[in-house]
Amino acid sequence: MKNIEETLTAIDWNSVAESMHAKGFASLTKVLTPEQCQELIDSYSKQELYRKTITMERYRFGLGEYKYFRYPLPELLQSIRETVYPQLASIANSWMKVLNIDKFFPETLKELHTLCHQHNQTRPTVLILKYGKGGHNTLHQDLYGEVFFPIQLVLFLNDPEEDYQGGEFVLVEQTPRAQSKAIVLKPGKGDILIFTTNFRPVRGSKGYYRVNMKHGVSELHSGQRHTLGIIFHDAEN
């Protein structure tokens, strides 16, 4: 069986870049094995892995719960983070260039974290989320500080047909001087969704302009849904 680095390296990253440029998101199917998905679900109860637990309704974020991992991350998650980041840094830098934003993201995750630490951002942002019936997540952006990487991942750990109903992943694109556009996605178990953290460039008649995007989760009608979010920048202390 291929390890996760081999699986991720074999992905057609040119196609991923094309999808990110065109839509602000890209889907990778069956990246994680069922065993890896179950391992991550089972880890939810291992409190020693986490630095903080958030009950969503307390903060009016929705209905459900999530936990932030502490460092060091589990090997699987660290491998995904380190392997995928350089591929996405190229996309992110091309976005900065066409939008004329004076910002450049380093080639490696380690260098990004050095930059985060210089701005007092040292806390891990990788998190696992759990929803039951009625669970949902309001529209938001995962920024966490002055330094933020504009692309992130969600790993889908349950089967949307067998394990739960509802609970679609929702992206909302907020185009300037126009109505917002909702994009509703339902990736399968083991899939990874790559999407923009807060904005993407769109080409218009006078060049590129910035379109803001938020994400959330629609209400679960039944069952249980686990996902795992991989954000590349660290959070403020």
pLDDT digits (tens, 9 = 90+) for 223-233: 999 999 999 99
Residue 135, pLDDT score: 98
Label residues 174-193 b or e (16+ Cβ within 10 Å = b).
Answer: eeeeeeeeebebebebbbbb
Report yes or no: 72 and 126 within 8 Å, Cβ to Cβ. no
Banded model confidence at residue 176, pLDDT cuts 50, 70, 90: confident
Q: Does 157 score more than 70 pLDDT?
A: yes
167 or 178, higher pLDDT:
167
Measured between alpha carbons, how far is 208 from 204 in angstroms, rounded to an integer?
6
Category of 193 on φ-ψ map: left (φ > 0), alpha (ψ -120 to 50) or beta: beta
Residue among 81, 27, 32 nearest 189 (CA): 32
| Domains of the chain, start order | 4-236 (2.60.120.620)
Helix/strand/coil for 23: helix
Q: Does 24 score more than 70 pLDDT?
A: yes
Measured between alpha carbons, how far is 228 from 162 in angstroms, rounded to an integer?
19
Q: Does 1 score more than 60 pLDDT?
A: no
The mean pLDDT of 40-45, rounded to a whole number, is 97
The mean pLDDT of 110-134, rounded to a whole number, is 98
Measured between alpha carbons, how far is 228 from 231 in angstroms, rounded to an integer?
10
Q: Does 137 score more than 60 pLDDT?
A: yes
Residue 196, pLDDT score: 98
Task: Tell me the two tokens of residue 53.
Answer: 């637990």
Cβ-based neighbours of 174, under 8 Å, separated by 6 or more: 180, 211, 212, 213, 214
Half-sphere exposure of 190 (CA within 13 A, CB side): 11
Place of tokens 């680095």: 5
Residue 170 vs residues 134, 136, 206, 218: alpha-carbon distances, Å: 16, 11, 29, 7
Banded model confidence at residue 177, pLDDT cuts 50, 70, 90: confident
pLDDT digits (tens, 9 = 90+) for 46-63: 999 999 999 999 999 999
The mean pLDDT of 151-160, rounded to a whole number, is 98
pLDDT digits (tens, 9 = 90+) for 60-107: 999 999 999 999 999 999 999 999 999 999 999 999 999 999 999 999
Q: Does 2 score more than 70 pLDDT?
A: no
Q: What is the rounded average pLDDT for all residues in the chain?
A: 96
Banded model confidence at residue 178, pLDDT cuts 50, 70, 90: confident
Task: Tell me the two tokens of residue 172.
Answer: 């909302």
